[in-house]
Amino acid sequence: MRVRMSTSPHILLVDDERRFAESLQQILLAEDYPCTIALSGEEALELLREKLFDLVLLDVDLPNMNGVETLDCIKELFVTMPVVMMTGNTAVETAVAA
C-alpha cells in the first residue's frame, strides 16, 4: 500500500550522481518541494511502490536499468504519473528515445 508522506507536492529525483541529486534536492526544498532521491532505476521503482509522488525527475543515463527502461516500467505501473526526463547527453537519439 502506497501512502502520501505530506500534503505538499512530492518529487522523486532519480540520478546516479549523488552530488548532483543532492544539489537539485536543495534547490527544490528551498522552493518548498519535498524531494526524495533514488540513485538507480531499481531504487526508484521500489520507492514508487511504497509512496505516492506527484512527479518523477528521471536521468536518462543510469547504470543497469537506464532512464528509458525505468520510464517504461513507471508507465506500466502508473499510467498517468508525470515524468520529466533529464540528461546532459546531447545526442538526438537520446532525446528521441526519451
Residues 71-83 have pLDDT tens digits of 999 999 988 999 9
Intervals of the chain under pLDDT 70: 1-7, 90, 95, 97-98
pLDDT value of position 73: 95
DSSP E strands: which ranges in 1-98?
11-14, 35-38, 55-59, 83-86
CA nearest neighbour of 74 among 93, 60, 58, 62 = 58
Identity of residue 84: V
Strand-pairing partners, residue 59, are 86
Say how far apart CA 91 and CA 57 lie, in whole Å: 19
